[in-house]
Amino acid sequence: MAEPHARPEARARLRVGGFEPLTTVDWPGRLSAVVFLQGCPWRCRYCHNAELAPLTAPGMKPWADIFERLRARRGFLDAVIFSGGEPTLQSELPEALREAADLGFEVALHTNGHDPAALQRALDTGAVDFVALDVKAPYDDYPTITQVPASGMPARESARLVLASAVAHELRTTWHPALLSRDQLRAIARELSALGARAWVVQLFRPEGCPVRWLRESLALPARVDEDLRAELTAIIPGFEVRGGDID
């Protein structure tokens, strides 16, 4: 079979803001590389990758160079993760997903679900093996996190698409009590359960690396999920999990 090559239009237009050549934590059980795509339409208050929000920025990397680095690592890496920023913001994403899959890698997509149609186009490639979908808040409360009006409506539709697909997935929420209340966590659980979710991960907020000083300082104390709240949320979603911090 002929060796795959990146198509010229994808090489020229895909905006890559960063590249992590090796990670063992972003997709547990797999040696992965992460391609961070530039651009995001939301301005989440706790974002650790705010430099990726503009569509263009200094130090961007040509996709052709990343493609060649991935090709050279066949037989060593298991997977390629497309993250951001928000990767579905770029119309060239489906072609890049196919190109990575054609190299023989498993492919994961990390997305906030801002554009259900773009997410569906990515899923329709057949190249995506795993989707990690952020759930920011109860859907009516999305603007308190994203700072974008009505952002919960497309996010809900994206969750429905992912849950209806045959693609392996993870729904996950970043949480600190200064960002979302316990009642809001309960509301998220109920909304996801109503959509058909049977698993959900709460990731505890990490202040390290947060670029906004006031937010970093105000959230300096670690978030904790006590056993009573954990039991409540597990009763709603049996596959509930807490990741990244303490459980009282």
Can you tell me the distance from the alpha carbon of 7 to that of 19, in angstroms, rounded to the nearest whole number?
A: 19
Among 194, 207, 115, 199, smallest CA distance to 154 is for: 115
Report for 26-30, 84-88, 176-180: range of highest mean pLDDT: 84-88
User: Where do the domains of the chain lie?
Assistant: 8-42+49-186
Token pair listed for 62: 């040509």
Q: What is the dihedral of CA 60, 154, 101, 107, to 10 degrees?
A: 80
Strand pairing report for 79-83 and 130-134: unpaired
- Model pLDDT, residue 232: 97
Amino acid found at 204:
L
Paired tokens of 79: 């997977």
- Residue-wise pLDDT for 44-79, tens only, equals 988 878 888 988 888 889 999 999 999 999 999 999
Q: What is the CATH number of domain 8-42+49-186?
A: 3.20.20.70
Q: Which of 48-62, 93-107, 205-219 has the lowest mean pLDDT?
A: 205-219
Q: What is the pLDDT of residues 164-196, one digit of tens each?
A: 999 999 999 998 888 899 999 999 999 999 999
